[in-house]
Amino acid sequence: MKRSITAALLVLVFAPISSAQHFQILQETQFSHAVLIDEALVGFGTPLQRNDEIAFFDPQGVCAGVATFDDASGSAAAALYGDIPETDFDEGFSDGDAFAIRVWRAFWRREAQDEYTISYIEGPNRWQDQAFTVIRVRGQDHSPDFAFFIESDFHDFGVLDMVVDQPHVWQSTIRFHGPHESYPVWDMFERTGDTAAFRIEFNPQEVPSDSNCTISVTYPNGNPAPGSSRMSLWVPWGAPGQGEMLRLEGDIGFARLIIPRAQLSFGEVAVEPNDLGIPTEARDSIEIRNPGEATLICESTIQNPYRFDAGQARLDSIPPDSVLFMTVIFDPDSVGEYDRQVALIRTNSWSDPPNATITLSGRGVDARAVKEVFPIQPSSFGLFSVYPNPFNSSTTIDFSLPSSSTSSSLRVYGLDGRLVADLIAQSKIQNPQSKIGKVVWDASGVGAGVYVVRLESERESLSRKVVLMR
């Protein structure tokens, strides 16, 4: 049925016109002939799809108009530009020129090798300035009997951490073209490589010719070993060696477990409160590093943990290339030796080495023994425990100075030598005779990092590193 000129003009006005991706117009001029493509069938009666293009060429081979298709309308429109008589160049059509067309199949990314018949429904069949024509296009496909196309032929899943990452799903679109009504998709593929590492699914599993099928790839499939996985799917067609390949890659990362210090010695700690300022508990930190590519999950357990406490660090998740500090507290309740071990046992199966053991030791003594062991006589000079360490807001520093000391300082420095805090004026001397003191450093206004606590007198100096975490 012929379309009236009014209806054709309405389609021309409202049909979506998008920029051409393949064919390019030489020049837009002030002369034009409007063309509406009412219908276009190519290759076994297949209609043109979204982003397919029909280009119009003048007798000299100049591209002077392009119509881009949209699935929503099923039609397309183009302005065919004319030549500018005053120039020496051929910009487009002249009055009376016939139309020649070529077709670009966007999904297949190639020009269709067809012979076309143009049917003129309304308007002149040759170029005229300010004219309007409605046409239909038919083509006979001379492409191979069978062809296969995949929208994306390569995907890399990257490095996945199976402790925190869920399996990733990637999808693409495939299309079969051939003389058969439908094709069993899975049977068309030849599979090589790590086929068990990837789960492949097709929807639908039986795809009609010239129809789309979705391929979904899940990686990893199951619980593969750490390392790289590579897989190829090959669909042969046409001449020997011709075809399309989909390549898939993925990696499962390793976690690494490094403990810089394998022993923590807490020394001698008083078992009872005392008026000498000697602490009844000692704290230290276990540094756990994970320089690997995957998250490290380790469970911290202390064998026979009597008087050793690992605080809240019972189950720790350490991201790749990160460090965790686990505070251990030693608070003896009786005189004697305390020797235990803390074992960090991995719970994810891909860390190397699988576990680490740290030896803990300490000795509980009574206050009088501590007084004799520690040089806390009037001539004493000591920088005792800093706890907690690491800390996130404030930490307590225990120290002692000789009674004869007249010029002493307790300061905190950055690693660059910058003075951060002067604490001696804030300290509380608990024993005037030996000048045993305690001070709380409030670091709420200081950035996270490593700092140095330094105690100095006229003749001596002691330093300790502390870690401020946020």
**Do 198 and 272 belong together in one domain?**
no
Alpha-carbon Rg of the chain, whole angstroms?
A: 40
Token digits for 148?
A: 């296969």
pLDDT at 313: 44
Residue 14 pLDDT > 50: no
**Do 170 and 183 belong together in one domain?**
yes
Mean pLDDT, range 444-469, rounded to an integer: 84
**Do 168 and 237 belong together in one domain?**
yes
Token digits for 443?
A: 């670091």
Residue 427 pLDDT > 70: no
Residue 270 pLDDT > 70: yes
Of 354, 374, 394, which residue sits at a domain end?
374
Alpha helices in 86-230 (DSSP H): 185-188
What is the rounded (10 degree) CA torsion for 15, 20, 24, 26? 40
**Do 69 and 12 belong together in one domain?**
yes
**pTM beyond 0.85, yes or no:** no
* 235 band by pLDDT with thresholds 50, 70 and 90: confident
For 6-20, 121-135, 365-379, 450-464, which range has the lowest pLDDT when averaged over its residues?
A: 6-20
Domain count, the chain: 4
Tens-digit pLDDT profile for residues 346-386? 666 566 677 788 888 888 887 665 555 444 444 467 777 78
Residue 26 pLDDT > 70: yes
Range among 83-92, 206-215, 285-294, 356-365 with highest mean pLDDT value = 83-92
Residue 169 pLDDT > 90: yes
**Do 289 and 407 belong together in one domain?**
no
* 218 band by pLDDT with thresholds 50, 70 and 90: very high
Q: 28 has which bridge partners? A: none
Residue 303 pLDDT > 90: no
| Token pair 């881009």 in the structure block, residue | 68
CATH number at residue 226: 2.60.40.10
**Do 123 and 9 belong together in one domain?**
yes
Token digits for 51?
A: 């982003």
pLDDT at 304: 62
pLDDT at 133: 96
Range among 136-140, 355-359, 442-446 with highest mean pLDDT value = 442-446
Mean pLDDT, range 278-284, rounded to an integer: 74
pLDDT at 275: 61
d(CA 55, CA 37) in angstroms, rounded, equals 11
Residues near 13 by beta carbon (within 8 Å), at least 6 away in sequence: none
pLDDT at 122: 94
Tens-digit pLDDT profile for residues 390-406? 888 888 888 877 666 66
Of 374, 394, 424, which residue sits at a domain end?
374
**Do 10 and 136 belong together in one domain?**
yes
Mean pLDDT, range 92-98, rounded to an integer: 95
**Do 170 and 245 belong together in one domain?**
yes
Residue 168 pLDDT > 70: yes
pLDDT at 43: 60
**Do 263 and 240 belong together in one domain?**
no
Cα-Cα-Cα-Cα dihedral sign, residues 143, 147, 150, 155: negative
Higher pLDDT, residue 197 or 364 = 197
Cα-Cα-Cα-Cα dihedral sign, residues 306, 367, 360, 324: positive
**Do 365 and 382 belong together in one domain?**
no
d(CA 264, CA 462) in angstroms, rounded, equals 20
CATH number at residue 440: 2.60.40.1930
Q: Whole-number mean pLDDT of the chain?
A: 78
pLDDT at 430: 45
Of 218, 252, 286, which residue sits at a domain end?
252
**Do 104 and 80 belong together in one domain?**
yes
pLDDT at 348: 64
Residue 463 pLDDT > 50: yes
Tens-digit pLDDT profile for residues 313-358? 445 678 888 887 777 888 888 888 888 767 666 666 566 677 788 8
pLDDT at 312: 43
Residue among 237, 243, 201 at smallest CA distance from 219: 201
Write out the residue range of the structural domain in which residue 76 sits.
Answer: 5-141
Higher pLDDT, residue 247 or 146 = 247
**Do 363 and 380 belong together in one domain?**
no
Tens-digit pLDDT profile for residues 52-86? 899 999 999 999 999 998 766 678 999 999 999 99
pLDDT at 305: 64
Range among 60-69, 143-152, 166-175, 240-249 with highest mean pLDDT value = 60-69
pLDDT at 13: 39
d(CA 349, CA 253) in angstroms, rounded, equals 11
Q: Which amino acid is at 331?
A: D
* 4 band by pLDDT with thresholds 50, 70 and 90: very low
Residue 6 pLDDT > 60: no
